[in-house]
Amino acid sequence: MNIFVINSGSSSIKYQLFRWPAEQPVCSGLVERVGSEQATISHKVFAEGVPTEQRLTLPLPDHEAGLHKVVHLLTDGVIQDPSDIDVVGHRVVHGGESFSQATPITPEVKAEIQRLFGLAPLHNPANYLGIEVAERVFPRARQVAVFDTAFHQTLPEKAFRYALPTALYTEQRIRRYGFHGTSHQYVAAQAAAYLGQPDARLITIHLGNGCSMAAVRGGQSLDTSMGFSPLAGLVMGTRSGDVDPSILLHLTGPLGYSPEQVNTLLNKESGMLGLAGSNDMRDISQALAAGDAAAQLAYDIYAYRIRQYIGAYAAVLNGLDAIIFTAGVGENDALVRQLVCQDIDFFGLVLAEAQNQQRQPGLRDLSAPGSRAKILVVPTNEELEIAQQCAALFASAS
């Protein structure tokens, strides 16, 4: 079964093709700057695990043009025809309370994704567009949506409800939803398998430009740092994470900010960008090495917030078997891991400093001898998780 996974962003398309049940992709790629005269495509084809990469720069006016170009690359030796694709799996960020698992896409499902545009305005419209385009480009394939929020539908009501009037939940569905669920689910499963503990008490720490954490026990999410939107929780690349709500009242009252200005401030001008002048941790790391005080403070605040959540989630789980770092920053930034794990031995976490500085592929155990809980780096693979869920969906239906 050929499963083609699409992660469609506002100006990008990330994709992988799996010849299931093989978990190594046949090819993968990234289309960037869609809508530009200088769009780029990075396309990799894997032969016995060894990639051959092709890079293109070309005008792509829209996502449909981008996906057609991807199909052209696929038919150049990977597949014969678009009809060879059996399943297209789509990452969709927000599924509200409607979806708790991978779901075949129907007109009703598409209408619900549209209805949720307001809850994920930066993501759901782009995800929806990817579905619309894929339906035209791959008319024979079965289309499946895998929702970032689905993994967190196991949160108990005491964790997902806010202390607001009940009507705001029952009528407006204002609650904690959580995001990055596909990543949290994947790395938690990998960690549990490594530990040999299906019921492991895990804290998963997804650190990219967007950041979130989850408390996971027995493969189920019990709490998560993002909330009604992807703005809450940790300090992120450009997002503030948790702030006192009265700050918003102060901004829109005495300071005269409009709601649009507040939205831009919190989502696009805050986080590491607001603290250190950049949302790229590599740039901030270089500034830190040069003695920049703002960069040092930004790193300290970033790590401090993560440690706060580790303490909270260890309490939620009533114990701890492992913490898991994943995504671009979590997998690659040794300083972040060091700052998070220092002075936290109360939880039985002791970092192996030498191993932490080494870069190696695959799952890494960075726990020092005597560490009662494991410190793991688990590379995330959301596309593989989506493919697994698509395959399981049709296996259960057959």
Catalytic residue among 62, 81, 86, 148: 148
Which H or E run includes 284? helix 281-289
- The annotation status of 91 as a binding-site residue, yes or no, is yes
- Looking at the DSSP bridge assignments, the partners of residue 125 are none
Vertex 124, ends 121 and 129: CA angle to 5°? Answer: 120
Structure tokens at 304: 């401090």
* Alpha carbons 116 and 131: distance in angstroms, whole number: 15
Residue 316 assigned ligand-binding role: no
Ligand-binding site membership of 382 (annotated): yes
- To the question of whether residue 271 is assigned a binding role by annotation, the answer is no
For the chain, give the longest Cα–Cα distance: 63
SS3 content of the chain, % helix, strand, coil (to 5): 40, 25, 35
Cα 129 from Cα 208, distance rounded (Å): 24
Active site residue 292: no
Strands 12-19 and 2-8: antiparallel
Integer Cα distance of 122 and 58 in angstroms? 25
Judge whether 280 is annotated as a binding position: yes
Residue 381 Cα to chain centre, angstroms:
10
Q: Both tokens of residue 63?
A: 């996502």
Closest by CA to 160, choosing from 237, 259, 232, is 232
Give every strand in the sheet of 322-326, ordered side by side: 220-224, 211-217, 201-207, 322-326, 374-377, 364-365
Residues 6+ apart with CB under 8 A from 334: 356, 357
DSSP label of 367: B
β strands within 93-187, DSSP E: 103-104, 142-147
| C-alpha–C-alpha distance, residues 105 and 135, integer Å | 10
Is 208 a known ligand-binding residue?
A: yes
Residue 207 among known ligand-binding residues: yes
77 is in an annotated binding site: no
Question: Any known ligand binding at 209?
Answer: yes
Q: Which amino acids are annotated as binding site, given as ranges? A: 7, 14, 91, 206-210, 280-282, 328-332, 382
Q: Which amino acids are annotated as binding site for Mg(2+), given as ranges? A: 7, 382
Q: Return the active site residues.
A: 148
Q: Which amino acids are annotated as binding site for ATP, given as ranges? A: 14, 206-210, 280-282, 328-332
Q: Which amino acids are annotated as binding site for substrate, given as ranges? A: 91
